[in-house]
Amino acid sequence: MTSTEKKVALVTGANKGIGFEIARQLAQQNITVLMGVRDPERGAAAAKQLQSDGRDAHFLVIDVTRPASIKAAVGKINNDYKRLDILVNNAGIMIDTQSDILALDPAVLHRTLETNVLGPLLLAQAGVPLMKSNGYGRIVNMASTLGSLTDSANPDSPYASVPVPAYRLSKTLLNGITVQLVRELRGTNILVNSACPGWVRTDMGGDQAPLTPAQGADTPVWLATLPDGGPTGGFFRDRQPNPW
Ligand SMILES: NC(=O)c1ccc[n+]([C@@H]2O[C@H](COP(=O)([O-])OP(=O)(O)OC[C@H]3O[C@@H](n4cnc5c(N)ncnc54)[C@H](OP(=O)(O)O)[C@@H]3O)[C@@H](O)[C@H]2O)c1
């Protein structure tokens, strides 16, 4: 790919929160941004906000729990653009109702894994062939320090006691997907990394979080726009390595 070609990015869960900000910041860099959304009305409203600033942003319906929806969306990207340069697996849920893993409802774990783990995996499986065909790719998996085994296992870590077992397990697995993708993709100019955005004021993060969505988007946008030869196979927070 030459540097003059316009890149195409897909950001899931881009109608609000950190995903919307990632879309906005990528579009500011003259990238065509496809905003993955579940609801077309919310998607149209979100895309319109970026378009009104002159950005090349469009919504694309993707429910990451529906393989047919992922297949249709990536098929449309192939038809319309013949390329996918950047995939940000941002969509996620935190639906834990019990704080104790001994009481974790398997249905809650199942739903959480479907969205936070299987969705990103299916998107990578669908998107990588398009990236390979252009010899360029950046994949960012939106994980969380809550998924860090190092922090979870350290009783002195401020993150160790945050009581969302299904969510934590899902982000640990998502980091595992990053590591395995990197092993498969070495030498392909497809860089794959996990990001923690920090604790961000969104519907998920709540009102007390210290960071704005724009601040939370900084590390994933940096990873989504890494130069060739940039880091791959890392887990980053504040653009710095975070323990797995
Ligand atoms: N906020 C934090 O402090 C924080 C910290 C660490 C990591 N993260 C991670 O950062 C990412 C974004 O979080 P956020 O705080 O921006 O959350 P948010 O405000 O709750 O937004 C989540 C987004 O994901 C979408 N989504 C949920 N399920 C989906 C599905 N099945 N298919 C497609 N889209 C789906 C939502 O769409 P709808 O509007 O349709 O529900 C929404 O656009 C998540 O992966 C989260 O785990 C957040």
**Residue 73: is its pLDDT beyond 80?**
yes
In whole numbers, what is the pLDDT of the chain averaged over residues? Answer: 96
| Residue from 10, 12, 15, 18 to probe ligand 1 pocket by mutation (most atoms less than 8 Å from CB) | 18
Secondary element (H or E) of residue 89: strand 86-89
**Residue 124: is its pLDDT beyond 70?**
yes
| Residue from 74, 144, 204 to probe ligand 1 pocket by mutation (most atoms less than 8 Å from CB) | 204
Measured distance CA(155)–CA(152) in Å, rounded: 7
Measured distance CA(125)–CA(165) in Å, rounded: 27
**Residue 2: is its pLDDT beyond 60?**
no
CB 84 within 8 A of CB 32: no
**Residue 78: is its pLDDT beyond 60?**
yes
Secondary element (H or E) of residue 237: strand 235-237
What's the rounded mean pLDDT across residues 215-237?
98
Per annotation, catalytic residue among 81, 136, 159, 167: 167
pLDDT tier at 98, thresholds 50, 70, 90: confident
Residue owning tokens 């919310």: 42
pLDDT tier at 3, thresholds 50, 70, 90: low
| Residue from 20, 38, 88, 219 to probe ligand 1 pocket by mutation (most atoms less than 8 Å from CB) | 38
Residues in the chain: 244
Has domain 8-241 been given CATH number 3.20.20.70? no
Q: In this predicted model, what pLDDT tens digit does every residue of 49-66 receive, in sequence order? A: 999 999 999 999 999 999
Name residues whose C-beta falls within 8 Å of residue 217's C-beta, 6 or more positions apart in sequence: 18, 21, 22, 24, 25, 197
pLDDT tier at 4, thresholds 50, 70, 90: low
**What long-range pairs does 46-50 form, CB within 8 A, spacing at least 24?**
46/14, 46/15, 46/16, 46/20, 50/23, 50/24
Q: Per mean pLDDT, which range of 29-43, 85-99, 152-166 is the poorest?
A: 152-166
What's the rounded mean pLDDT across residues 228-235?
98
| Two structure tokens written together for 3 | 């540097």
Residue 81 a catalytic site member = no
**Residue 244: is its pLDDT beyond 60?**
yes
Query: According to the model, what pLDDT value does residue 12 have?
Result: 98
Query: According to the model, what pLDDT value does residue 227 have?
Result: 98
Residue owning tokens 């990197």: 182
Q: Give 21-63 as a DSSP string.
A: HHHHHHHTTT-EEEEEES-HHHHHHHHHHHHTTT--EEEEE--
What's the rounded mean pLDDT across residues 98-109?
93
Q: In this predicted model, what pLDDT tens digit does every residue of 177-208 receive, in sequence order? A: 999 999 999 999 999 999 999 999 999 999 99
Q: Give 169-197 as a DSSP string.
A: HHHHHHHHHHHHHHHHHTTTTEEEEEEE-
Q: Which atom of ligand 1 is nearest to the CA of 91?
A: 24
Query: According to the model, what pLDDT value does residue 174 have?
Result: 98
Query: According to the model, what pLDDT value does residue 97 have?
Result: 86
Distance 4 CA to ligand 1 centre (A): 32
What's the rounded mean pLDDT across residues 165-177?
98
Query: According to the model, what pLDDT value does residue 45 have?
Result: 98
Q: Which among 17, 78, 9, 14 has a CA at the least distance from the CA of 211? A: 17
Ligand 1 binding site (Cβ under 6 Å of any ligand atom): 12-13, 15-19, 38-39, 62-65, 90-93, 115, 142, 144, 196-197, 199-200, 202-205, 209
**Residue 105: is its pLDDT beyond 90?**
yes
pLDDT tier at 158, thresholds 50, 70, 90: confident
